[in-house]
Chain A
Amino acid sequence: MKISYNWLKEYVDVKIDPKKLAYLLTMAGINVTSCRNAGGDYIFEFEITSNRPDCLGIIGIAREVACLLGKKLELPKELQRSPQPSPPSKLPPSPRLRGTSRRAGAAHSQLDIELKDPELCPRYTARIIRNVEVRPSPDWLKEKIISIGLRPVNNIVDITNFVLFETGQPMHAFDLDRIKGSISVRRGIKGEKIITIDNVSRACNPDMLVIADANGPIAIGGIMGGLKTEVNKMTKNILLESAFFNPISIRRTSRALGLSSESSYRFERRITNDMVAKASNRGACLIEAIADGKTGPFIDIGKKTGYSKTINFDLGKTNKILGISIAKGKAVKILKTLGFSVKAQKTSMKVTVPSFRGDVKNDVDLTEELARIYGYEKIPLTIPHIIGNVRTKSLISLLQEKISQALARLGLNEIITYGLISKNSIKGLGIREDETVVIKNPLSIDQEIMRPTLLPGCLNVISYNFNRKARHVSLFEMGKIYREKKNSYIEEPVASIGLAGIRQGNWKNQVREFTFFDIKGMFEKLLEELGITHVVFKKGEIEGFNRDIASTVENHGKVIACFGEVDKNICERFNIEKKVFYGELYIGNLLERVKLDRRYAPISRYPSIMRDISVILDKNIASSEVTNIIKEIGKTLVKEVSLVDCYKGKQIPEGKRGLLYRIEFQSRERTLKDAEVNHLHSEIKKALSEKLDISFR
């Protein structure tokens, strides 16, 4: 909302530098977002929080200014006292009074107004003003209208806008002669239509309030008037409406129509009922003065009482919660200048809230009022009596942190991708549709579902980077995946790894492409880091992966991870031509197995002895079978078995492969003798040839 400094001065005697005033207001919670020099004037732009609709008019702002500067608020006389509705005797002859309805003398005959829905419109007032001269506004009014960022239209429209910005009370002027029959303030009827003044035809429905005449709606109550009854140059007689519309109903209608106006904005935030009649009076007086009109009778139907509340207020409690000590006299003065009436008693005070401060409901609200005027900056800085906590992180967040650090150490860069993805991106991954969490109101097709896997996000990033000439992409993500199960929602923490392109090469070491064993190594290293032993890598056909190049990782029968080469077709869908190796670690399944504590293991004082063993075996025999047998026979004396070479070629028969293992023998208790190792070594060979179809080189 924009407000002119010169205009503001009409209500409060303020002389200070406008920039300084902007600062004072901001620091009192009336946020000034800019203060601009405009010739002989300054324009303030405000951002009013939704709890302060009273500040959506210049008078509300003036009241704050008066309080901050210790000045008096000066109101035009029409706004000081509510006008009385015209007594029935003043109405034209034989007025028909029906329930909640009243009749106003119209230009030619009579006008009945019936308030049919006091729920959506608790109060409706109208005033007939005859013989107006519609013409451009005088310069002073035009200037004011321009200063608040509006466009002058004609004197009548400008006056309604003037009053709206002055008081915060929206007004609407109808061309009285275009109203057919009586007026009914009612809910819309299905099938009814209205063309609003922005020249758009809008369908009405029973959820919205309309102002209707005999032919149908002439305004959408509180939101926008109709074109048919719009005031124009030819208008002679007008009906000036000032009402209180139900905030929730206005908000619903405004949202449903996608139509928001200065009026609806204020009605949504709740206007001050006390101002309804006063503002009407103010408008009428201005119309008489500027547009030569003659004010007729005033009709006022519905609830007249405004918001009222009396609060028992304990200043001691307020001082305690703020950590300050405001003196009683000062507190009373602040509250009084804000419009509250205060009756100070011995220990507490009785504070009566003015009708325009519907946001103040209890003592804490009053505390806030005192705090913001007293000044937040004057509240001292204190350190709370620290409670402290024994356990500052849950095991799961500790674990996630540990995993992230480990993966970064392995040369992977962390990515963060969106939790929402498109339905299309999980095609071919074997994810059950009934388990995916679907968003009802996505903004785009990229936000249709909550991700059930981190793979699409990873592939998008790989594709993005390849498109930007990256040749080496190695990533990880720490995030959640989401599933619906029997109407409950599961959020599971997962770590993902993605490798694509070449391993980083340099002038000394040759460049090569990532392979399955690169990602396997990462998982091995990671699991070791987490202290997870007894890990079984099982070849698995996993949807979304190359059938032959994928593995699950099991620990005590639970799948804790899976990884492999991503199916070519899926990569193509993400415009990736190169091989992608991807894996996920299911952190939730690890929690009980993780061992982050380390204990020192004594280093053997006795030398170790190396022996190589070179085998030729059938391609179908897994390498792990060989190492398992070696460990089984060697028992505690085999410290380590490592695969040092794998070869095919002329010397190796078709369908076979050659593997070279290096065995490190070592004892914790003694120096092993050559003969002993030789014996063990041949025992191992014997067992291998007995159990497996194997030969030695």
Chain B
Amino acid sequence: MEEDVKNIRQSFEEDIKTANDASSLEGLRVKYLGRKGLISELMGRLPSLDKEKRPHVGRELNLLKKHIQGELHEKQQLLSSGREPEEGKIDITMPGILPEEGRLHVITKTLNEINDIFVSLGFQIAEGPEIEKEFYNFEALNIPLEHPSRDAFDTFYIRDDILLRSHTSTVQIRIMEKVKPPIQAIMPGKVYRPDAVDASHSFMFHQVEGLMVDRDIKFSDLKGTLNLFTKRMFGEKTKTRFRPSFFPFTEPSAEVDISCIICKGKGCRVCSHTGWLEILGAGMVNSAVFEAVGYSPRKYTGFAFGMGVERIAMLKYGIDDIRLFFENDIRFLKQF
């Protein structure tokens, strides 16, 4: 008798696997649970069992009945809801259900990368206002009024003495006015210049400024620091070259080039066949700037540098049009 219960269970497990429509399910119901079904039949034979065995087998039989009822019900539910009949039978070539995800803007991503590198070198992150006094944008940085060196810094004005900063160097002055050396900070932010918009110009873009001031800060420190930065940002094999240049607020000044990351220095369209890409302006803080903030140039030296975030992102990700950053096409945003 107990053997029969086991057999019925086994045969049901086999049957249910192949029953994939309503009629075959009904067939199974009749076969197992029907008035003349297998369960009823065994039930009918119960009284003929030994008294000791009867309760046990009865319980087993009831459990089996419940099990079959449950299974049939579940299968029916499955079929009527149109879901996949069995885990084993799905079409695994159908596309996965993708979780909805959002992306940080590629400029934010690039900024974060830059910030993280400098933070790991002990730099602090500081910010300053975008609407700025003319003094901070020019005079304090040793850019005199009506001097040709202002040509590089056309500006949006709000009032005669209030403008939209055209570089983040303004924040250098604000920091130095507030605290005494040692200073080791980077200053990311938006800057504005009235340039007509085209593939390589935008009237708004992002810069990261860097400043380190203390006793005995040397030009070689500037080289060492930026060399570390470019290697971490663009890869270990990146070469860095420092070229003398001119900025009113640093002296000596340098343009910093990296070996072209596209052609590896062989010369290509991106680097105008020079093998080098200009990515940073830098130099030792001009003593005139120290004097403007009340530091003694005899006591302190320091270096400063600045870079355009869009340019770095364009080089790093192979983006060829600066307008893409601000059009915010979702197909663009999703790529980074």
Q: Assess the A379–B95 pair: CB atoms within 8 A.
A: no
**B162 in contact (CB, < 8 A):** yes
A367-B252, A381-B227 given as contacts; is B326 within 8 A of A443 (CB)?
Answer: no
Contact with A along B127-164 (1 / 0, CB 8 A): 10111000000000000001111010000111100101
Q: Output the least CB separation between A106 and chain B (Å).
A: 37
Q: Assess the B214–A50 pair: CB atoms within 8 A.
A: no
Q: Assess the A380–B131 pair: CB atoms within 8 A.
A: no
Chain A residue nearest to B120 in the complex (CB)? A392
Most central of B131, B185, B212 by chain A CB within 10 Å: B131
Q: Assess the A411–B220 pair: CB atoms within 8 A.
A: no
Contact residues in B for A49 (Cβ distance below 8 Å): 245-246
Contact with B along A449-477 (1 / 0, CB 8 A): 01000000000010011001010011110
**A414 in contact (CB, < 8 A):** yes
Contact residues in B for A72 (Cβ distance below 8 Å): none
A29-B243, A439-B158, A447-B203 given as contacts; is B334 within 8 A of A387 (CB)?
Answer: no
Q: Output the least CB separation between A373 and chain B (Å).
A: 9
Q: Output the least CB separation between A356 and chain B (Å).
A: 16
Question: What is B's interface to A at a CB cutoff of 8 Å?
Answer: 94-95, 97-98, 100-105, 107-108, 112, 119, 121-127, 129-131, 146-149, 151, 156-159, 162, 164, 182-185, 190, 192, 194-196, 203-204, 212, 214, 216-221, 223-225, 227-228, 241-246, 251-255, 284, 286-287, 301, 325-331, 333-334
Q: Choose among B126, B218, B333 the residue that contacts A413 (Cβ–Cβ < 8 A).
A: B333
Binding stretch for chain B, among A416-424, A580-588, A688-696: A416-424
Contact residues in A for B223 (Cβ distance below 8 Å): 376, 379-382
Chain A residue nearest to B246 in the complex (CB)? A49
**A347 in contact (CB, < 8 A):** no
Contact residues in B for A420 (Cβ distance below 8 Å): 156, 192, 203-204
Contact residues in B for A442 (Cβ distance below 8 Å): 156, 194
A417-B326, A450-B131, A470-B330 given as contacts; is B148 within 8 A of A50 (CB)?
Answer: yes
Q: Choose among A51, A440, A504, A509 the residue that contacts B157 (Cβ–Cβ < 8 A).
A: A440
Q: Choose among B95, B97, B122, B217 the residue that contacts A509 (Cβ–Cβ < 8 A).
A: B97
A31-B243, A251-B148, A392-B125 given as contacts; is B130 within 8 A of A382 (CB)?
Answer: no
Q: Choose among A29, A409, A416, A504 the residue that contacts B105 (Cβ–Cβ < 8 A).
A: A416
Chain B residue nearest to A255 in the complex (CB)? B146
Q: Output the least CB separation between B48 and chain A (Å).
A: 43
Chain B residue nearest to A363 in the complex (CB)? B287
**A377 in contact (CB, < 8 A):** yes
**A391 in contact (CB, < 8 A):** yes
In the complex, chain A residues 5-41 whose Cβ is within 8 Å of any chain B Cβ:
26-29, 31
CA distance A465 to B330 in the complex (A): 7
Q: Assess the A480–B130 pair: CB atoms within 8 A.
A: yes
Q: Assess the A416–B107 pair: CB atoms within 8 A.
A: yes
Q: Assess the B220–A323 pair: CB atoms within 8 A.
A: yes
**A397 in contact (CB, < 8 A):** yes
Contact residues in A for B131 (Cβ distance below 8 Å): 437, 450, 482, 489, 491
Q: Assess the B329–A464 pair: CB atoms within 8 A.
A: yes
Q: Assess the B219–A372 pair: CB atoms within 8 A.
A: no
Q: Assess the B158–A440 pair: CB atoms within 8 A.
A: yes
Q: Assess the A29–B244 pair: CB atoms within 8 A.
A: yes
Q: Choose among B98, B190, B219, B330 the residue that contacts A379 (Cβ–Cβ < 8 A).
A: B219
**A603 in contact (CB, < 8 A):** no
Contact residues in A for B148 (Cβ distance below 8 Å): 50, 247, 251, 268-269
CA distance A491 to B204 in the complex (A): 16
Contact with B along A635-671 (1 / 0, CB 8 A): 0000000000000000000000000000000000000
**5 A-B contacts, Cβ less than 8 Å apart?**
A389-B185, A447-B194, A464-B329, A507-B94, A508-B97
Q: Assess the B242–A368 pair: CB atoms within 8 A.
A: no
Contact residues in A for B183 (Cβ distance below 8 Å): 387
Q: Assess the A382–B329 pair: CB atoms within 8 A.
A: no
**A233 in contact (CB, < 8 A):** no
Q: Output the least CB separation between B84 and chain A (Å).
A: 10
Contact with B along A396-409 (1 / 0, CB 8 A): 11000100110111
CA distance A290 to B102 in the complex (A): 74
CA distance A362 to B334 in the complex (A): 53
Q: Assess the B328–A391 pair: CB atoms within 8 A.
A: no
Chain A residue nearest to B253 in the complex (CB)? A368
CA distance A629 to B94 in the complex (A): 48
**A506 in contact (CB, < 8 A):** yes
Q: Assess the A368–B105 pair: CB atoms within 8 A.
A: no
Q: Choose among A389, A409, A470, A504 the residue that contacts B123 (Cβ–Cβ < 8 A).
A: A389
Contact residues in A for B192 (Cβ distance below 8 Å): 419-420
Contact residues in B for A252 (Cβ distance below 8 Å): 146
**A388 in contact (CB, < 8 A):** yes
Q: Choose among B95, B244, B284, B287 the residue that contacts A28 (Cβ–Cβ < 8 A).
A: B244
Q: Assess the B102–A51 pair: CB atoms within 8 A.
A: no
Contact residues in A for B146 (Cβ distance below 8 Å): 248, 251-252
Q: Assess the B123–A419 pair: CB atoms within 8 A.
A: no
**A321 in contact (CB, < 8 A):** yes
Q: Output the least CB separation between A306 and chain B (Å).
A: 19
**A327 in contact (CB, < 8 A):** no
Q: Assess the A489–B129 pair: CB atoms within 8 A.
A: yes
Chain B residue nearest to A488 in the complex (CB)? B131
A50-B246, A268-B148, A413-B103 given as contacts; is B252 within 8 A of A371 (CB)?
Answer: yes
Contact residues in A for B97 (Cβ distance below 8 Å): 506, 508-509
CA distance A365 to B284 in the complex (A): 11
Q: Output the least CB separation between B218 and chain A (Å).
A: 4
Q: Assess the A382–B221 pair: CB atoms within 8 A.
A: yes
A364-B287, A461-B328 given as contacts; is B122 within 8 A of A386 (CB)?
Answer: yes
Q: Output the least CB separation between B309 and chain A (Å).
A: 10
Contact with B along A473-515 (1 / 0, CB 8 A): 1111010101000000101000000000001101111000000
CA distance A437 to B112 in the complex (A): 29
CA distance A491 to B216 in the complex (A): 37
Q: Assess the B125–A393 pair: CB atoms within 8 A.
A: yes
Q: Assess the A27–B243 pair: CB atoms within 8 A.
A: yes
CA distance A102 to B9 in the complex (A): 128
Q: Output the least CB separation between A363 and chain B (Å).
A: 9
Contact residues in A for B246 (Cβ distance below 8 Å): 29, 49-52
Q: Assess the B254–A376 pair: CB atoms within 8 A.
A: yes
Q: Choose among B121, B129, B244, B330 the residue that contacts A371 (Cβ–Cβ < 8 A).
A: B244
CA distance A397 to B119 in the complex (A): 13
Q: Top 3 closest A-B pairs, CB basis?
A: A29-B244, A323-B220, A49-B246
Q: Choose among A251, A320, A384, A417 the residue that contacts B328 (Cβ–Cβ < 8 A).
A: A417
Q: Choose among A28, A384, A480 the residue that contacts B225 (Cβ–Cβ < 8 A).
A: A384
Q: Assess the B245–A322 pair: CB atoms within 8 A.
A: no
Contact residues in A for B331 (Cβ distance below 8 Å): 468, 470
**A438 in contact (CB, < 8 A):** yes
Contact residues in A for B224 (Cβ distance below 8 Å): 380-384
Q: Choose among A384, A396, A480 the residue that contacts B212 (Cβ–Cβ < 8 A).
A: A384
Most central of B94, B121, B330 by chain A CB within 10 Å: B330
Most central of B121, B129, B243, B328 by chain A CB within 10 Å: B328
Contact residues in A for B105 (Cβ distance below 8 Å): 413-416
Chain B residue nearest to A393 in the complex (CB)? B125
Contact residues in A for B98 (Cβ distance below 8 Å): 506
Q: Assess the A404–B104 pair: CB atoms within 8 A.
A: yes
**A697 in contact (CB, < 8 A):** no
Q: Output the least CB separation between A582 and chain B (Å).
A: 15
Contact residues in A for B203 (Cβ distance below 8 Å): 418, 420, 443, 447
In the complex, chain A residues 176-197 whose Cβ is within 8 Å of any chain B Cβ:
none
Q: Assess the A323–B102 pair: CB atoms within 8 A.
A: no
Contact residues in B for A383 (Cβ distance below 8 Å): 221, 224-225, 228
* Given A387-B184, A437-B131; 6 other pairs, CB 8 A cutoff: A269-B148, A389-B122, A393-B125, A419-B192, A450-B131, A491-B131
